[in-house]
Structure 1
Amino acid sequence: MANTVHIRQVAVLGAGVMGAQIAAHLANAGIKTVLFDLPAKEGDANGIATKAIANLKKMKPSPLASLMRADHIEPANYGSDLEKLKGCDLIIEAIAERLDWKLDLYAKIAPFVAPHAILASNTSGLSINSLAGGVPEQLRSRFCGIHFFNPPRYMYLVELIADSQTNPAMMDALESFLVTRMGKGVVRAKDTPNFVANRIGVFSMLATIYHAERLGIRFDVVDDLTGPRLGRPKSATFRTADVVGLDTFAHVVKTMTEQLASDPWHKYFTVPAWMQKLIENGALGQKTKAGVFKKVGRDVLMLDPSTGEYIAGGQKGSDEVKALLKITDPAARFKALRESTHPEAQFLWACMRDVWHYISYHLDTIADNARDVDFAIRWGFGWNQGPFEQWQAAGWKEITAAIAADLAAGQVMGDVALPAWVAARDAVHTPEGSYSAADNALKQRSNLPVYKRQLYPPTVVGDAAPLYGETIFENDGVRLWAQAGEDVVVLSFKTKAHCIGPDVLAGVNQAITIAEERYAGLVVWHPEAPFSVGADLMSMGPAFMTGDFASIENMVAEFQKASMRLKYAAVPVVGAAQGYAFGGGCEFLMHCSRVVACLETYIGLVEVGVGLLPAGGGCKEFALRASIEAKGDIVAALKDYYLSVAMAKVGTSAEEGQQIGYLRSSDIIVFNPNELLYVAKAQVRAMSESGYKAPVKPKAFAVAGRAGAATIKGQLINMLEGGFISKHDYLIAGHIAEIMTGGDVDAGTLVDEEWILKLERERFMKLLKTGKTQERIMYMLENNKPLRN
């Protein structure tokens, strides 16, 4: 079996929350998907699956790239539809975590599985070999574990687990499919209970719960200290348990209790009595609106485990310990935590120490190497760095000595010595590879061909630093670079959140000049998200405060020139986007020859949030497109574009961005962000090699004029009177209407792009001089959220 697999149709068995969301993400990828469940007892036999598909459209955050994707999932049932399995290339079982139920289902479907099809279980912790033992013999070599993390659309990690008889070539092919088509980071896990991420991540949560109780640290303080301050998600520890579901968390812990009896930490594999009581009372967390935390009105209450009652929450960690967490040098930070006598500092040190002890003891049995552990925790639990990375960054030898000292003093959770390999090494991650305890060797990354598409793959602490080519040009805002011998040059912004200020604008112009002179084309790409949050409002600050509006207007004009240069460059310019592409970032993409966008690109013209309007060519582009698309009625063609701008509509996926019009149907959507640059360069070369010609500037196009603006404003009055928008919103929306309809001219008047750009500048400056807009700008700069005034 080759390292590629042609998966055209997939069946998902089980229409519960997880199965339905796996089906949704397969549909996102354009793969025909059949979602199975039990026959409904009444009415349509497919009723259970049909209801699950309908529920996908209601979920937030949405598992669907756009709502229409739900229509690409076919409902089915085990009673009358098993014949449909014969057309499937991959079958993913996602039913409840009961070994007997799963084995019964495998026996039932076996006669209908195609000879080439892969059968995989989405179990989160059951033994793959135990499952495989009940799989019909003809399916055994094509059976494996494929563990998606919840929610499947957004979580990068998938764990692949082989059975002792699984065909290795099939696993390689399946990994390649998951990486490119599904956009996932794959970790090969060994067949141990809960595999890699849940085994370590849940142990970390159990250690946190244990030490919090031992040292008397409140739940809200724990979450304040173990979230972003520790390089972890905002949901931290107890909020994460609420989000996952206390019953789900307890189930994973139960698997550890039942299947890891010989684990030296086994006595800690239990949920505390207060959590068990919550579960018994149906307080399961976010899904039941009460768990460790409960929101009442605007107040977030917290369970007091000593009384079982909810009390006021929101308490933060002590200033003393928060100051220690701000120490930038990891070695100094953990040394300070270790030496502090403050209970919160001792709590944090103990939590990390026991995780480090645990992962070193179990590395040989749960993962191929330390890199896989770190990626599993980063991708599955959202840590900025994996636990081995944190250990190495804090000083391998120093941390090892500190753990050994605590072991000797009887202060650790696990009463076992550190493995001998720990003291023998100076690090687990090196440029030559990451350490495998099972093989006592350094392991390089996978050499599957699919990873050649990742020009700059994810790295771990200790890897060789990525070499982003030779610098061709650089200023304070951008770096233009190229790999030796390549014909495509790359422009990367250096600013915070890749915002666009004078240096970026100058850099864009210079980059295009260089690309036109020496290269086949240009890619605008950054190693990290976001693509751009838009114009740098801070850079306008001095001129804004002194009333130097002329310099701001000049900057707006420069912004427009940069957008137009992107559009009319003599060589193809491809924008490679992921994360936020807001305001000016969106406008830049709208002017590129083509965009390659990661599925998780959130794109929109959001300027009204700061009391302004798009003035980098966004209004102009929509006015031009409406004129081209109009079939005698420009206002009708313009309406949806106008509403998107006036209501600051954001596409919450690249596909939604296409539907709104920020991205064109010819733009490319990729699922794996690590493949963006590879695909973008390929697009530049394809356009160049096919004889790229810059677009011809339209000499004139028709606009809707003052009559069109009046029609649009009539709808705005209804929104104003209904209280849906404020008076200032009405003012901004009116300006946008007048720009996009061409200003004070008759309907059908022919204008050029510069005419609309001039209107953008003029109306932008008018708004900038109003008190309400100035209030919005200052509020955004101070609070990082919009003000509706």
Structure 2
Amino acid sequence: MSKRRIKKIAVIGSGIMGSGIACHFANIGVEVLLLDIIPRELNDAEKAKGLTLNDKVVRNRIVNDSFTAALKSKPSPIYHQSFAQRITTGNMEHDIAKIANVDWIIEVVVERLDIKKQVFENLEKYRKPGTLITSNTSGIPIQFMSEGRSDDFQKHFCGTHFFNPARYLKLFEIIPGPKTSQEVLDFLNGYGEQFLGKTSVVAKDTPAFIGNRIGIFSIMSLFHMVKDMNLTIEEVDKLTGPVIGRPKSATFRTVDVVGLDTLVHVANGIADNCPKDERHELFKLPDFISKMVENKWLGSKTGQGFYKKEGKDIKSLDLNTLEYRDKQSAKFATLELTKTVDKVIDRFPILVNGKDKAGEFYRKNLAALFAYVSHRIPEITDQLYKIDDAMKAGFGWEHGPFQIWDAVGVEKGLELAKAEGFNVAPWVQAMLSTGSKTFYTVKDGASYAYDIDKTSQEKIPGQDAFIILDNIRKSNEVFKNSGVVIEDLGDGILNCEFQSKMNTIGGDVLAGLNKAIDLAEKDFDGLVVGNQAANFSVGANIGMIFMMAVEQEYDELNMAIKYFQDTMMRMRYSSIPTIAAPHGMTLGGGCELSMHADKVVAAAETYIGLVEFGVGVIPGGGGSKEMALRAQDTFRKGDVELNVLQEYFLTIGMAKVATSAYEAFDYGILQKGKDVVVVNKDRQIATAKAYARLLADQGYTQPVPRKDIKVLGKQALGMFLVGTDAMEASHYISEHDKKIANKLAYVMAGGDLSEPTLVSEQYLLDLEREAFLSLCTERKTLERIQHMLKTGKPLRN
């Protein structure tokens, strides 16, 4: 790969997508120049101030307004607000010459070929030869855009299609133009994966490329099926959501968020430009969609779409009458059968055999999908795994179409398609006749996919930088119980992978963690605690705590909390290096575990925090102790130590959750100079393993337990109690909130000692455990735990 370096980029066009792309490059440390057009006329505010079109604030109004709006949007496009300083704004007239100093120009202007060509002509006047130039189009053929441009421009030009929102959706489609050099494609493919944290997929220059071609087919197929099967929008959203590994917003809620006009635009593009598509008819809009577009019911942006908010109520659209009505609940017997099946992929065989309307829906839906994707090879890509990668990374599907087909069974999928009157492409039958019974296989810890040209299973490229736990779990298993699997990652490093529901930490997980440390201390050099589920861990098993507290088994509860604390202390004081690899939701106990590892290798998308206040307790697995210890470790000469301690106290008391790993440094949950962040989650386990190996090779020595923690005693306790009194008096917190806060204050102050004193970690752990236990005897705490178990939401009582 060439030694091309990206230090600075220019983004042309500052709409939602342009600003989102600019923010994501700023996320990874790149300097960004964000440009847009200048306004044609003054707005009222500018007129009132007596400004003219020549004033800089007017010239940059469009870009600055868009960028400000992006930074305020939720979820945030940026990992940390301070990263926004890496972005400079400007306009296409006065600042365009600055593109001569960038390494990559990304065009994100309106989806009109004439405008894009005009922009490229303008850019070519200032672009220095060799600079990458790409378009974030979602559907205009790349070949038309670079017509008439110089050879150097065409050689360095291609499509780079990010999905919205650019920070969160991982798909990065790279679409070559007629003259794009292989060096440019290879560079972008590697850069997207390694630096931007994306799933890079090189696509062919066909309408809507890969992700939208299959994704829009899938949605249009549903639009037509809804009427045929007389389903409600609630029923469809129930059938196409988390139960099959799709986002919570399922189908109709997703369309509302994205905007019906956006979807219609892409569907029309496919209808106009793919006359030979065997399902061409499907891309024509059903009547109810045309009517909604006519009424401007485009979703969230117009205040109503398939759903509409009226006051506090959410109403749903009746597709037969096109009137809004109260939401209805949707229930299907077939879905009940999958409730005990934790792994989504194992649910598909049950779903397609359902005897009710849901079963019929899945048979029709999957038959159409299987047949359609089979015909897209080699039209949109030569490799079937690229279709799966695109659907997982661009549409948030947990499994791609071919993986689902494998789960149902390739032959069974052919039967379903035939029963519904669809023809599957001949290569599938040909694959079966070569003896390949599945699209994918795993060999020696690597994934292989069927290659149609070579008629054999070929290793999927690019996985050498990854460790895929699904691929090594069976062959490298060292130990297993109902809570964890311990795998040998090779090179002397073990991995402890949680397997409990939502990766909650209960007795089995703690036993597994202790076993992992035992094994690593005896026969290995280091331990990683990591998994590749949706979330690292949502915390301790509160159901178990609730049962013990309700039955008043306080001795057993005391033992259980002590076991948790002791396990965390083993993470810190074992004779081998321990690395935690948190990602996604890392709450309560999951956060405490991370804080006790020798090093944290966090995914950038880690939402981490001590949230125990929400269930009426304080962190009891060493989190309260750890925050007191970290506060004292940051005391500097001349500090007002009380203020430092208060910051750490508030992190727990306000149940702060970082919205990215970078924000976790602000809260003292991750530590600067010690913990690291990885942008691509797929690389996380491999990176954590490398750090464990590095620490072992540097001569890791077992740390000595701390006995030098300075606690402030009465002086701090007094301040906290005055504070909680004032907060209760002004109705910021309830009486029970105050009780919890006061218990936490007692722990973090080190009790009511008469003067600042040096204490041991165990001293603080004992205080923490006592406080946790006493809160478990409170009726209001039990009400909070029960409410969380029932609804998944915190109760304020």
Give the TM-score of the pair, scaled to structure 1. Answer: 0.92
With over 3 angstroms needed to count, the CA separation of the structure-2 counterparts of 1:351 and 1:482, relative to structure 1, is closer
CA deviations on 1:280-324 (whole Å, 9 max, x unpaired) are 44332112221111011232212234444322223414x345457
Match of residue 233, structure 1, among 247, 251, 269: 247
Match of 1:179 in 2: 193
SS at match of 1:187: strand
Match of residue 425, structure 2, among 419, 426, 430: 419
Does 2:545 correspond to 1:540? Answer: yes
Structure 1 CA distance, aligned partners of 2:140 and 2:552? 67
* Amino acid corresponding to residue 195 of structure 2 in structure 1: R
With over 3 angstroms needed to count, the CA separation of the structure-2 counterparts of 1:344 and 1:134, relative to structure 1, is farther
Structure 2 CA distance, aligned partners of 1:593 and 1:89? 38
1:476-515 equivalences under 5 Å are: 476-484=482-490, 486-515=491-520
SS at match of 1:640: helix
Q: Contact 1:56–1:64 at 8 Å: present in 2 too? A: no
Structure 2 CA distance, aligned partners of 1:626 and 1:335? 56
Match of 1:691 in 2: 699
1:584-663 equivalences under 5 Å are: 584-630=589-635, 631-663=638-670
Q: Contact 2:338–2:347 at 8 Å: present in 1 too? A: no
Structure 2 CA distance, aligned partners of 1:660 and 1:539? 29
CA deviations on 1:607-642 (whole Å, 9 max, x unpaired) are 111111012221222212222322342211112211
* Amino acid corresponding to residue 556 of structure 2 in structure 1: S
Q: Contact 1:189–1:368 at 8 Å: present in 2 too? A: no
CA deviations on 1:227-273 (whole Å, 9 max, x unpaired) are 23344222222222111101111111121122112323223223334
Match of 2:44 in 1: none
Q: Contact 2:253–2:306 at 8 Å: present in 1 too? A: yes
Structure 2 CA distance, aligned partners of 1:523 and 1:343? 45
Cα deviation for residue 472 of structure 1 reads 4.1
CA deviations on 1:407-448 (whole Å, 9 max, x unpaired) are 3xxxx6xxxx433223333245133843445x3634635535
With over 3 angstroms needed to count, the CA separation of the structure-2 counterparts of 1:535 and 1:348, relative to structure 1, is closer
Does 2:419 correspond to 1:434? Answer: no
Q: Contact 2:406–2:440 at 8 Å: present in 1 too? A: no
Report the identity percentage: 36
Q: Contact 1:90–1:118 at 8 Å: present in 2 too? A: yes
* Amino acid corresponding to residue 780 of structure 1 in structure 2: M
CA deviations on 1:110-165 (whole Å, 9 max, x unpaired) are 13223332111111111111223244322111111111111111112111111222
SS at match of 1:108: helix
Structure 1 CA distance, aligned partners of 2:406 and 2:571? 44
Match of 1:381 in 2: 395
Match of 2:123 in 1: 109
Count of equivalent residues: 766
* Amino acid corresponding to residue 76 of structure 1 in structure 2: G
Match of 1:24 in 2: 23
Q: Contact 1:478–1:492 at 8 Å: present in 2 too? A: yes
Q: Contact 2:138–2:161 at 8 Å: present in 1 too? A: yes
Match of residue 164, structure 2, among 123, 143, 150: 150
* Amino acid corresponding to residue 162 of structure 2 in structure 1: F
Structure 2 CA distance, aligned partners of 1:479 and 1:322? 28
Match of 1:452 in 2: 464
Cα deviation for residue 345 of structure 1 reads 4.5
With over 3 angstroms needed to count, the CA separation of the structure-2 counterparts of 1:704 and 1:287, relative to structure 1, is farther
Structure 2 CA distance, aligned partners of 1:348 and 1:472? 38
* Amino acid corresponding to residue 738 of structure 2 in structure 1: Y
* Amino acid corresponding to residue 430 of structure 2 in structure 1: A
* Amino acid corresponding to residue 740 of structure 2 in structure 1: I
Match of 1:80 in 2: 94
Cα deviation for residue 60 of structure 1 reads 0.9
SS at match of 2:580: strand
With over 3 angstroms needed to count, the CA separation of the structure-2 counterparts of 1:747 and 1:177, relative to structure 1, is farther
Structure 2 CA distance, aligned partners of 1:537 and 1:636? 32
Give the TM-score of the pair, scaled to structure 2. Answer: 0.91
Structure 2 CA distance, aligned partners of 1:140 and 1:109? 13
Match of residue 353, structure 2, among 330, 333, 336: 336
Cα deviation for residue 179 of structure 1 reads 0.6
SS at match of 1:186: strand
With over 3 angstroms needed to count, the CA separation of the structure-2 counterparts of 1:134 and 1:734, relative to structure 1, is farther
Match of 1:297 in 2: 311
Structure 1 CA distance, aligned partners of 2:556 and 2:268? 65
Structure 1 CA distance, aligned partners of 2:114 and 2:391? 30
CA deviations on 1:657-716 (whole Å, 9 max, x unpaired) are 111111111211001111111111221222233333444444323222222222223232
With over 3 angstroms needed to count, the CA separation of the structure-2 counterparts of 1:362 and 1:478, relative to structure 1, is closer
Match of residue 132, structure 1, among 125, 142, 146: 146
1:665-684 equivalences under 5 Å are: 665-666=672-673, 667-684=675-692
Cα deviation for residue 562 of structure 1 reads 1.9
With over 3 angstroms needed to count, the CA separation of the structure-2 counterparts of 1:693 and 1:40, relative to structure 1, is farther
Q: Contact 1:581–1:602 at 8 Å: present in 2 too? A: yes
Does 2:73 correspond to 1:59? Answer: yes
Match of 1:785 in 2: 793
With over 3 angstroms needed to count, the CA separation of the structure-2 counterparts of 1:541 and 1:625, relative to structure 1, is closer
Structure 2 CA distance, aligned partners of 1:775 and 1:326? 26
Q: Contact 2:349–2:407 at 8 Å: present in 1 too? A: no
SS at match of 2:600: strand
Structure 1 CA distance, aligned partners of 2:514 and 2:396? 37
With over 3 angstroms needed to count, the CA separation of the structure-2 counterparts of 1:190 and 1:761, relative to structure 1, is same
Unmatched segments (≥5 aa) in structure 2: 41-52
With over 3 angstroms needed to count, the CA separation of the structure-2 counterparts of 1:68 and 1:279, relative to structure 1, is farther
SS at match of 1:209: helix
Q: Contact 2:497–2:531 at 8 Å: present in 1 too? A: yes
CA deviations on 1:324-370 (whole Å, 9 max, x unpaired) are 77797667546535xx5x66544443222222222222222012221
* Amino acid corresponding to residue 247 of structure 1 in structure 2: D
Cα deviation for residue 507 of structure 1 reads 3.4
* Amino acid corresponding to residue 501 of structure 1 in structure 2: G
Cα deviation for residue 510 of structure 1 reads 3.8
Structure 2 CA distance, aligned partners of 1:336 and 1:592? 46
CA deviations on 1:703-747 (whole Å, 9 max, x unpaired) are 222222222232323322332221111110111112111111134
Cα deviation for residue 206 of structure 1 reads 0.8
* Amino acid corresponding to residue 596 of structure 1 in structure 2: V
- Taking only aligned residues, the RMSD between alpha carbons, in angstroms, comes to 2.4
Match of 2:225 in 1: 211
Cα deviation for residue 216 of structure 1 reads 2.3
Q: Contact 2:473–2:487 at 8 Å: present in 1 too? A: no
Match of 1:462 in 2: none
SS at match of 1:742: coil
